[in-house]
Amino acid sequence: MRTSSLAAVAAALLAAGCNPETMGGGAATRAKVTVAGRAVTIAAPPGLCIDEPSTRVDAAGAFVLVRDCADGATARPPRAAMTASVSSGGLTGEGDAAADTLAELQAYLATPDGLALVGRSGRSGGVRVLAQQLSGDVLFVLVEDRGPQPIAGLDTRFWRAFLEVNGRMTVLSMLGSDGAGGSEEGLRALAALASATRGANRG
């Protein structure tokens, strides 16, 4: 896998592992971030909202938290939320087709370095790729990480999705508990986030 592509994956996954300690309210359904001169819009699927106070943009990229729209002291904590992390580089290199590069990424995730990147603990030990699905220009990966989790109570199994949006590597991740993170429902939610984001950046 080409060095520039690996750097993009690493940067996006680093942001994806951030701990959203402060989850505020707000009913925004889109977050437009500018990363290395390119605008990327993260669009929440129907029924979900952007957690605006958690959105962060810096030199390495951007982090956006997508969660249930409920707010206030009486709102029940959601079983699952999703994150979107945008890196300052692209997944594909000049002259490459996106599917070819995602296929390279599939193979890379079987290596110790790839496992350390795709997990949450930053270590390859205890990390397994349980399933991969290449759907068009999006790669969905089911990960198991039995290492230390950034947030207590998170599922050790969770879905990630890799795609390129406006020339920027984007990683979508499930944050779930009680089995939601690695469930088929979680996969559908992540696919809906990918589809909504794709649609928001067309044209």
> What local confidence, expressed as pLDDT, does residue 22 receive?
44
pLDDT digits (tens, 9 = 90+) for 98-154: 445 788 888 888 899 889 889 988 888 899 999 999 998 999 999 999 887 777 778
Could you read off the pLDDT of 47-66 as tens digits, one per residue? Answer: 899 999 999 999 889 999 99
Least confident of 28-37, 70-79, 81-90, 139-148: 70-79
Between CA 8 and CA 28, with CA 177 as vertex, the angle to 5 degrees is 65
Mean pLDDT for 158-186 is: 91
Nearest to 59 by CA among 41, 93, 86: 86
> So what's the pLDDT on residue 62?
96
Question: Is the model's pLDDT at 85 over the cut of 60?
Answer: yes
- What integer pLDDT is reported at residue 1 of this predicted model? 52
pTM of the model: 0.83
Percent of the chain with pLDDT over 70: 77
Domains of the chain and CATH, by start: 3-18+35-200 (3.40.1000)
Q: How many CB atoms sit inside 10 A of residue 67's CB?
A: 24
By mean pLDDT, which of 21-25, 28-32, 135-139, 147-151 is the weakest?
Answer: 21-25
For residue 45, give Cα distances in angstroms to 9, 139, 176.
24, 18, 17
How far is C-alpha 166 from the chain's CA centre?
Answer: 16
| Between 200 and 69, residue with greater pLDDT | 200
The rounded percent of the chain whose pLDDT value lies above 90 is 49
Q: What is the pLDDT of residue 180?
A: 85
